[in-house]
Structure 1
Amino acid sequence: MSKDIILKAENISKQYRLGQVGTGTLSHDLNRWWHQVRGKENPYLKIGDTNDRSTKGESDYVWALQDINFEVQRGEVLGIIGKNGAGKSTLLKILSKVTAPTTGSIKCGGRIASLLEVGTGFNGEMTGRENIFLNGAILGMTKKEITSKLDEIIDFSGCERYIDTPVKRYSSGMTVRLAFAVAAFLEPEILVIDEVLAVGDAEFQKKAIGKMQDISKQGGRTVLFVSHNMAAIQSLCTRAIVLKNGTVVFDGKTDEGINYYLSLNSSTDTNISIRDIKERKGRGEIKIVDIKIFDKNENEVDTIRTGEKAIIKVYFESSVSNIHKKSRLSLGIHNQGKIFVLLSTELGANEYMELPQKGFIEFNIPKLPLTKSNYTIETYLECDGELQDWMENALVFTVEDGVYYEGGLNYPGGWAGKTVLLDFSCSFTTN
Structure 2
Amino acid sequence: MGSSELIFRGHGTQQESDSYTPKPPKPWESLTRLVRYLVREQRLMFLLIGIALPTIIFTMLYSSNPLSSPEDPPEPYHKIVYQGSGGKIPLGLKSRGSRIVVTGGAGFVGSHLVDRLIKRGDSVIVVDNFFTGNKENVMHHFGNPNFELIRHDVVEPLLLEVDQIYHLACPASPVHYKYNPTNVVGTLNMLGLAKRVGARFLLTSTSEVYGDPLQHPQKETYWGNVNPIGVRSCYDEGKRTAETLTMDYHRGAGVEVRIARIFNTYGPRMCIDDGRVVSNLVAQALRKEPMTVYGDGKQTRSFQFVSDLVEGLMRLMEGEHVGPFNLGNPGEFTMLELAEVVQQTIDPNAKIEFRPNTEDDPHKRKPDISRAKELLGWEPKVPLRKGLPMMVKDFRQRIFGDHNKDASSSTL
TM-score (normalised: structure 2)? 0.25
- Bigger proportion of residues as helix: 2
- Bigger proportion of residues as strand: 1
**Structure whose alpha-carbon radius of gyration is higher:** 2
